[in-house]
Amino acid sequence: MMECCERTENDKKGGHLAIRKADNQLILRESAMCAAADERDFQDITKHRFFNTNNLWVRLDKLKEIVDKFGGFIPLPMIKNLKTVDPQDDKSQAVIQLETAMGAAIELFQGASAIVVSRDRFAPVKKCNDLLLLRSDCYIINEDYVPILNPACGGSAPVIDLDSKKYKFVANLEESTVDGIPSLVKCQYLSIKGLVRFSKKTTLTGNVSIINESSEPKLIPSGDLSNVTLNLTNAPGLGPLRSFAIKTKAFDGQMPGTSGLRKKTKEFMQEHYLSNFVQSTFDALLQNGTDVTNGTLVVGGDGRYFNDQAIQIIIKIAVANGVKRLWIGKDGLLSTPATSAVIRERGPTWKKAFGAFILTASHNPGGIDEDFGIKYNCENGGPAPEKLTNAIYANTTSIKEYKMCSNFPIIDISSAGSTTIRSDDGSTEVTVEVIESTEDHVALLKTVFDFKAIKALLDRKDFSIVYDSMHGVNGPYAKAVFVDELGQPESTCVNAVPKDDFAGGHADPNLTYAKELVHTMGLDKAGLKIEVGERKVPSFGAAADGDGDRNMILGSQFFVTPSDSLAIIAAYANSIPFFRAQGGLKGVARSMPTSGAVDLVAKALKFDLFETPTGV
């Protein structure tokens, strides 16, 4: 027995029940089984009144008889559908899709019957017409958590006729309903021809027809629209906020790791290369449930060549993907630790960041003939997990287009301030705020460390310090901390002006590349003492890499290995307010290649010790 519903205009293209004249047997006819010449009659809901709900009741003993009769299978009628390999591309390879309908088995059961059930047993969703209806106020959720027709509809749902070419896929409907779905409970018939943008501020009553013959989606006006035909073709659109679909082809090798994607700068400068990766990231965020329309996107980098141009590209793609607010580091600069601080600390809550693009290749050389990179950090401030980077990579291998607001203006990132860009139709706006690069990071550092105690040390006549930023992003941060906060002379900070090629150097803080600092601290590239004569060697020296997340520490004519730095921090963690306020350290971790110095500290202080793979 098959459960059926009476067909309405919304169901006219779906399969229906019929009686085969030869033997009066019930059969199911699907639209793909219908000859073109018979299509009009097929869709006549007065001639073919009932459609299959796919709720079937079967006697198992009779089913076994049929299976046994036909040698272990059920000979359902074959349905031939003409499709394309890519359902979203009508120009892709044409194919024939063969399928069978479960309900078609009714013709194999002699004496099969059908029963007409009410609509509360079935809410079909075969096309975007149905999905829009189901998501609207025409349906409510009852006490059993089942969607049922809203009683306010008077027993019948409105007929929805969306443009079949414009709303063939769910993604098209999703884009049109970003601002909500209008009230349809008082609507009898809704026709949409062309692309539109719906809004929850609109109520449609009676018979409403909306036409848009332009290529840009137009906003349906808010308020009550009753028994009206609207032509939105010449209505204002989104203007600078209009999103365009830019055709592209996939590039090989865009697999990001925890450190992001790094390639030669000229490779990134190829048309579409960066855009492909950024769009693939937004697609992955959507797939993973991140709502980019709320919260803020952070963008910044280490200032290397192509940084400023890349930021403008990212802004335009972000806006096209629905981002409403962006924080950009002044001059395009944000160190990796500072970006994490902005994500986690900058407020207020309703503006909190959902993630960030960081433009860096870390300690790799910079310049047009050197390296560039990009990585995505998540809402916790940390790098994208493997699940997300895998999704990003998968998207890069199949991308065919990306979204871009091509007419969005270039943002001046040379000075702090806020710019708001509004759509021509007044329906939406985007705010881009250029923030002081050092502000949030320095504020966080002041809560972590005892600046008063540090200043007391630095002010001693028998203590001196030099900090080498190697012309990377950390220069402004070094000045903000040592000069502005701790009152030290500017000479404390060397190579503190960021350069797009790191002044021709290699911003990797080690004994080989930090030559100037190493010499200043009285050492050679092997870390051995050199003759300094009467020259006074500073008490403490440090250097940072291009994006400020790795360092080297030197004492007066001695080199402090990173392994020893970790051990010293662990041993004296209670002197750091951040750790002391939380009851001290509970455990420490090191990578496998790191020396066992911290192991000795953990053993002495009874910490838990963890060994991790490199890069974790």
Q: 217-269 pLDDT, tens per residue?
A: 999 999 999 999 999 999 999 999 999 999 999 999 999 987 899 999 999 99
Q: What percent of the chain has pLDDT over 70?
A: 99
Measured between alpha carbons, how far is 53 from 44 in angstroms, rounded to an integer? 18
What stretch(es) of the chain map to CATH 2.160.10.10? 128-235
In this prediction, residue 489 has a pLDDT band, given cuts at 50, 70 and 90, of very high
Measured between alpha carbons, how far is 238 from 405 in angstroms, rounded to an integer? 10
Fold of 441-612: Alpha-D-Glucose-1,6-Bisphosphate; Chain A, domain 3 (3.40.120)
SS3 assignment, position 480: helix
Measured between alpha carbons, how far is 539 from 465 in angstroms, rounded to an integer? 6
* pLDDT tens-digit readout, 6-60: 887 777 777 788 888 889 899 888 888 888 888 888 888 888 888 888 889 999 9
Would you say how long the chain is, in residues?
616
* pLDDT tens-digit readout, 404-456: 999 999 999 999 999 999 999 999 999 999 999 999 999 999 999 999 999 99
CATH architecture of 128-235: 3 Solenoid (2.160)
* pLDDT tens-digit readout, 272-312: 999 999 999 999 999 999 999 999 999 999 999 999 999 99
Name the DSSP letter for residue 535: P
CA of 163: how far to CAs of 189, 238, 377, 404, in Å?
Answer: 14, 21, 39, 24
CB atoms within 10 A of CB 35: 8
Is the pLDDT reported for residue 146 higher than 90? Answer: no
Q: What is the pLDDT of residue 415?
A: 96
Q: What's the mean pLDDT in 390-399?
A: 97
66 versus 118: the higher-pLDDT residue is 66
Measured between alpha carbons, how far is 337 from 47 in angstroms, rounded to an integer? 70
Nearest to residue 216, comparing CAs of 196, 231, 200? 196
Measured between alpha carbons, how far is 275 from 267 in angstroms, rounded to an integer? 12
H/E run at residue 181: none
pTM of the model: 0.84
Is the pLDDT reported for residue 529 higher than 90? Answer: yes
* pLDDT tens-digit readout, 188-225: 999 999 999 999 999 999 999 999 999 999 999 999 99
H/E run at residue 153: none
Measured between alpha carbons, how far is 442 from 568 in angstroms, rounded to an integer? 23
What stretch(es) of the chain map to CATH 3.40.120.10? 244-438, 441-612
Question: How many degrees, rounded to 5, is the angle at CA 534 between CA 531 and CA 537?
Answer: 70
DSSP codes of every residue in 338-399: HHHHHHHH-S-GGG-EEEEEEE--TTS--STTSEEEEEEE-TTSSBPPHHHHHHHHHHHHH-
Measured between alpha carbons, how far is 95 from 78 in angstroms, rounded to an integer? 16
Q: Which of 39-53, 173-187, 242-256, 346-360 has the lowest mean pLDDT?
A: 39-53
User: What contacts 24+ positions apart, CB below 8 Å, involve 450-458?
Assistant: 450/575, 450/576, 450/577, 451/485, 451/486, 454/486, 455/486, 455/487, 458/482, 458/486, 458/487, 458/488
Is the pLDDT reported for residue 377 higher than 80? Answer: yes
Q: What's the mean pLDDT in 340-355?
A: 95
Is the pLDDT reported for residue 350 higher than 80? Answer: yes
* pLDDT tens-digit readout, 563-593: 999 999 999 999 999 999 999 888 999 988 8
Residue 80 · residue 96 · CB < 8 Å? yes
In this prediction, residue 83 has a pLDDT band, given cuts at 50, 70 and 90, of confident
CB atoms within 10 A of CB 447: 11
- Is there a cis peptide before residue 217, judged by omega within 30 degrees of 0? no
Mean pLDDT of the chain: 93
Name the amino acid, one letter, at 463.
Answer: F
Residue 275 · residue 246 · CB < 8 Å? yes
Residue 101 exposure: Cα atoms within 13 Å on the Cβ side: 24
Residue 133 · residue 161 · CB < 8 Å? no
Is the pLDDT reported for residue 469 higher than 60? Answer: yes
Is the pLDDT reported for residue 616 higher than 60? Answer: no
Q: What is the pLDDT of residue 593?
A: 85
Query: What residues act catalytically?
Result: 362
Can you give the C-alpha Rg of the chain in angstroms?
33
Measured between alpha carbons, how far is 54 from 171 in angstroms, rounded to an integer? 25
Nearest to residue 309, comparing CAs of 396, 368, 369? 368
Q: What is the pLDDT of residue 45?
A: 86
Q: What's the mean pLDDT in 131-158?
A: 92
Tokens of 314: 């990212």
Q: What is the pLDDT of residue 249?
A: 97
CA of 311: how far to CAs of 132, 260, 383, 403, in Å?
Answer: 37, 16, 19, 15
Tokens of 102: 């479960």
User: What contacts 24+ positions apart, CB below 8 Å, involve 477-481?
Assistant: 477/335, 477/338, 477/437, 477/438, 477/441, 477/442, 477/548, 478/544, 480/438, 480/442, 481/442, 481/445
Q: Which runs of consecutive H residues, i.e. helices, occur in 116-179? A: 128-135, 170-176
In this prediction, residue 119 has a pLDDT band, given cuts at 50, 70 and 90, of confident
Fold of 244-438: Alpha-D-Glucose-1,6-Bisphosphate; Chain A, domain 3 (3.40.120)
